[in-house]
Amino acid sequence: MTDLKGKILAGKILVQPRDAEEKTVSGIIIPDSAKEKPQVGTVVLVGSAKKDEPMEIKVGDVVFYGKYSGTELNIDGKDYLLISQTDVLYIA
């Protein structure tokens, strides 16, 4: 997976978002200005559980999250999203 060093706080996860779609199903190329922000990604780091909330997500899970969830981070030239476990809508 990813060789990141660091620690995530309780109840938070670090997600590597999937790349935005380059083409539509019919083959039309989407310009950068019109690309949708991805809402799915792979979990690369997981924080510890909170006192009243067990951590249900683990490293390697593919998760779906809200469009405006989390904080965007750039670590070692790669884009990540730091989100709360409660912002995850679905675990695939």
* Residue 64 in tokens: 């779906």
Q: What is the pLDDT of residue 16?
A: 92
Q: In which band, very low, low, confident or very high, does the pLDDT at 5 lie, cut at 50, 70 and 90?
A: confident
CATH class of 12-91: mainly beta
DSSP assignment letter at 70: S
Q: What is the pLDDT of residue 31?
A: 64
Which candidate, 43, 39, 33, 34, places its Cα nearest to that of 68? 39
Which candidate, 51, 49, 50, 19, places its Cα nearest to that of 36? 19
* pTM metric for this prediction: 0.79
36 vs 90, higher pLDDT: 90
Q: What is the pLDDT of residue 39?
A: 86
Is the pLDDT confidence value at 28 over 60? Answer: yes
The predicted-structure confidence for 33-80, as pLDDT tens digits, reads as follows 655 677 899 999 999 998 888 999 999 999 999 888 899 999 888 899
Which candidate, 17, 38, 21, 37, places its Cα nearest to that of 29? 21
